[in-house]
A and B are shown apart, each in its own frame.
Chain A
Amino acid sequence: MTGRLTRRRFLGATGAALAATACRDGPGGGTTGRPGELDGIDHLAGLERLTVETYTALRELAVVGRLGALIPPAVVEFVTTATGRHQEHLDTWNRTLVAAGRQDVTAADARFKPRVEAAVSRLVDIPGLLTLALRIEDHTSRTYLEALPTLATPDTIRTAGQIVAVDQAHQAYLRYLLGLSPVGSGTVRDATDFAPADPQASLSTW
C-alpha cells in the first residue's frame, strides 16, 4: 500500500470517527452491519437491555428503601446516569439493526436474565448493589472486547469501542466506591491481576 493509501485509510476512519462522535448517533444513521456482525450486535443489544433493566430495578430498590433508609446521593446519581448511558447504547444498536432490516431488540439476554434477577432479589445493602453493578459492567465490557477483533464494519467497531470506554469508566467509579483500585476488572482486589477472560465467567458463576 502506498503512503497515500494508508493515509487515506486513516483519515477516512478519523473523519468518520469524529463525525460519528460529534453527532453522537453512532452507526444508526444508515450503516448496515454484515450478517455475522448483526448477530453479534443482536447479542450485545440483549446485554444492554439486561443492563438497563437491572439498573432500573436497582434504582427502584433504593427508592423503596430496601437497601437502607439513606442511599448516598452519588450512588443514586450513578445508577440514574448509568441507566441512561446503557439505554443510549441499546438505542444505538437498535438503529443499526433496524437500518439493516432486522427487528430491534426489546428483550433482555435470556441466558443471564434469571440469574441477574435472582441476584437483585438477594440484595440487602449498597455495597451489594455496587458489586452487582460492577459485575454486570465487567461482563458487558468483556463481551464487547472479545467481539471487537471479529467485527469488520468501521462504524460498528467504532461504536463498540466508544461503549467499551464508557463501560470501563463505570467500572472505575464502582471500584473506587467499593474501596478497590479504580483500575482493574471486576471485583478482583489486586489491580495488577485481572480475572480470567471468559466473558461468561463473571455472570455464570452465580
Chain B
Amino acid sequence: MPEELRRREVLGLAIGGGIALAGLPVSPAGADATLDVQILQTASSLEALAVAAYERVLASELPPAVRSFADETLRRHGAHRKAFQEQTTAVDRAALVQDAPNGKFLPALAAADLSTPAKLVDFLATVEKVVTDTYLTNLAVVQDARSKALVASVMAVEAQHLSHLRLIGFLMQAGAPQLVADPFPPARMRDLPHTAGRVPFPDGLHRVGGPELVAEPSSGAVR
C-alpha cells in the first residue's frame, strides 16, 4: 500500500488527514510536552498490546469472517502504533519511542481464555474497550494539538472496532453466527435480530469503564 494511503488511514478518518494537521499549532515546549510524550508512548504500548492480542487470536481456529476482520484490524493497529511513535519524536526529538506492549495489561493477555470463538471475540472487545477508553480520557489531557488530533482520530477507529466486535459477539450469543459475514450480504438484513440495531452502541455518550480498564500515562512511559 502506498505510504500516502497509510498516512491517510491513520490520520484521515474524519479529521482531514495531513491537511487538517498542517493547520494545527506546533508542539508545546517544555513542561506540558512531558505528559504528552508519556501519553503517546503509552498509546504506542497499547497499540503494541492490540497487535499482540490479535496475533494471539489469529493463531486460533476462527470463523472466516472473524479471521478477515482480525487480519485487517491487526494491520490497522500496527499503523496506529507507527503513527504514535512518529508523533512521540515530533513532540520531543529526544524522546524514546515505545515498542513494547503495555505492561499493565500484558498479564491479562497471557492469561486470556481463548477456547471458544465467543471468548475470543469478547477478549478482543475488551482490548478495544481499553484502548478506546484510554484515548478518550487522554483527549482532555494531551496539550499538543497535533497529538490531540491523532489521539481523537485513532480513538474513532477503535470505537468502530469495538462496535463491530460487540455486534459479532451478540450474533454469536444469539445463535446466529451465520450472520457474521465478510462482506455481509444486505439481502440477509431481515434475518438479523431486531436488537442487533441497539447492542453495538449501549450508551448515548460513550461510557468510560473503571480505572482498571484505563492505561494511565506512566504505564507505557519509556524511562
Q: Could you tell me which A residues sit within 8 Å of B by CB distance?
A: 1, 5-7, 9-11, 13-14, 16-18, 21-22, 24, 26, 70, 72-82, 84-85, 88-89, 92, 126-127, 138, 141-142, 144-146, 148-150, 154-155, 157-166, 168-173, 176-185, 191-194, 196-199
Q: B-side binding surface: helix, strand, loop or mixed?
A: helix
With A10-B217, A148-B148: A157-B153 Cβ-Cβ less than 8 Å: no
Q: What chain A residues lie within 8 Å of B146 (beta carbons)?
A: 149
With A84-B204, A164-B159, A181-B183: A145-B189 Cβ-Cβ less than 8 Å: no
User: Contact at B164–A6, with CB atoms within 8 Å?
Assistant: no
With A158-B140, A166-B204, A169-B163: A193-B156 Cβ-Cβ less than 8 Å: no
CB of B17 closer than 8 Å to a CB of A:
yes
Shortest beta-carbon contacts, A-B, top 7: A197-B16, A77-B197, A88-B204, A78-B197, A1-B31, A73-B194, A169-B163
A78 to B193, CA, bound (A): 11
20 more A-B contacts (CB under 8 A) besides A182-B164, A192-B1, A193-B9? Answer: A1-B35, A7-B218, A9-B141, A13-B141, A21-B206, A74-B196, A75-B189, A85-B204, A88-B204, A145-B16, A145-B149, A148-B139, A161-B140, A165-B155, A169-B206, A172-B160, A177-B189, A194-B9, A194-B13, A199-B14
Task: Point out which of B135, B184, B205, B207 has the most chain A C-beta atoms below 10 A from its C-beta.
Answer: B205
Q: How far is the CB of A84 from chain B (nearest CB, A)?
A: 7
